[in-house]
A and B are shown apart, each in its own frame.
Chain A
């Protein structure tokens, strides 16, 4: 596989991941559905970003678009995607398969479903190594063993010969992480990697991911609906709602002083150690927008308690509220009441 030509400008460019005006439309239904409506993101090497949002907010779709994993016949991706110098949307078949796994790798939500049930785990990892580096099966297995040690799988040599169903959920997710790291990617995409796991195992996996990210200098995009997870793993948080990024900023800033009413609502509706007992949790009234028929203005407008007429006049602009912290809300500048 010949390395694609890198742009001279990217060497100077600090951003490893650069997403500009990403749109994803699902075709095939009566009407095209706009799942992602213009997302801008940048990520430097070694940086961890959490994409926070509820089901259907477009966070998983955004992640999959970065690897072009969405079925091509039924999806239209627009905008600019540049990862490590690759113009992702322009990659040909061969370059795309070298890019997948080689430059970007993904960890899936349920490792029990994301590993092939009828292949041994070691062989599944070796297969990726063989594919990308053209080495022998033995060399691929040797790499797999190395990776198993790296992700702290006990008795790794024996586990290589295990089938996915012979491992526990946490172990499988470790194996999945090993598989993702098999070909030394620069960017790791994690799609709710702890959602399918037990609470105690979740922490271990998060710590492992954090450790690997620091040691290997990976850029990580972490999709989650769990605010706690986002804070734990990410330097920056991007809050997604109705296919738009409504707020982006450093984790501490976004969680500490949310600028968008949706972020405030999200934070108010979670359980914290000092949540009063016997009191109903706050909820955000209403339900997420129908993406086939989105509201004309701000996607959160139908559920927002701070609506003004300006909210219905197109998507609110990105308003900076602090260093590296911005939100899309027309009422920024006015004080925002949480809850």
Chain B
């Protein structure tokens, strides 16, 4: 198993390197000169050349990439053009916030998704299945930013139960695990959980239906197991796939929640990306994407390892 993990890390390394290259090239693929955003409009050619040299843009691309990668590996993602603060600190804070939001959302989604999935899978083609499936389809197909707005209208504007925006009192940008902050987390997390809930519920329903139709379930009953005993076998058979889906969903939510984070003004990566794009803050954009991509690579790695640990049929060498 340890050998497998080492091997799998070995496979992840080139992927990570490729991702870093794409992130680096982003700056050069984006239309316009990255420097034009900070240089005054009437800057002389001499000044431009000076700035170019200062930022290292005068060197050949591979050299630039090497230097950039060297810095990244040492934890230096550059400086935000808009705020002048180090990108790493900005991204770190945002990733922390997004991670909390995405994890809680995935947890809620996974809990309800597996529950609905099992109900639907076990009671296939009954009204229970139809209700559970309808909830799942609603989850995957409803526009989430719209749902977010509705949630704000209902629970903040009308009922006044929960705060509509931000991560904490007084526009606090740092999430902190206390009751007050939890109230801020609730609305965006529930809104966001609807996506993984739907996806996981659909997957688990199909998995459970499939497993229940296999011969071994009948064989388990034939050896006298109770329905609960059989259920345990079904869970263990469904777990590897369900967990893989959950991991991927967490990855998507971590980076792909620009709309929800914007609706709720949640100071996470989506919010940060949104700001970086509108302010043409390329170092920030680059750094954020790189960190998110690395998270995704790591998450995939974790999912692979967990799946292999759970399913003996996957080759471990």
Contacts and interface: CB of A to CB of B under 8 A. Distances in A.
Given A116-B233, A118-B310, A101 B216 contact: no
A182 interface: yes
A183 B216 contact: no
A222 to B, nearest CB: 16
Contact of A128 (B224, B310, B311): B224
B225 interface: yes
B229 interface: yes
The dominant DSSP class at the B interface is helix
Contact of B222 (A67, A98, A113, A131): A67
B13 interface: no
B312 interface: yes
Contacts of B311: 118
B274 interface: no
A115 B233 CA distance: 11
Interface residues of A, number: 33
A118 B236 contact: yes
Most buried by A among B215, B224, B233, B311: B224
B220 interface: yes
A305 B237 CA distance: 51
B219 A97 contact: no
Contact of A131 (B225, B233, B236, B310): B225
A106 B240 CA distance: 29
Given A118-B312, A128-B225, A131-B226, 16 more contacts: A69-B218, A69-B221, A69-B222, A100-B221, A105-B222, A108-B218, A109-B215, A110-B215, A114-B215, A116-B216, A116-B236, A118-B313, A131-B223, A131-B229, A163-B312, A180-B223
Interface of B: 214-216, 218-226, 229, 233, 236-237, 240, 310-313
Interface of A: 64, 67, 69, 97-102, 105-106, 108-110, 113-120, 127-128, 131-132, 163, 165, 176, 179-180, 182-183
25 contacts: A97-B224, A97-B225, A97-B226, A98-B224, A100-B222, A101-B222, A106-B219, A106-B222, A108-B215, A108-B219, A110-B215, A113-B215, A113-B216, A114-B218, A115-B219, A116-B219, A118-B310, A118-B313, A119-B233, A119-B236, A120-B312, A127-B225, A127-B229, A128-B224, A163-B313
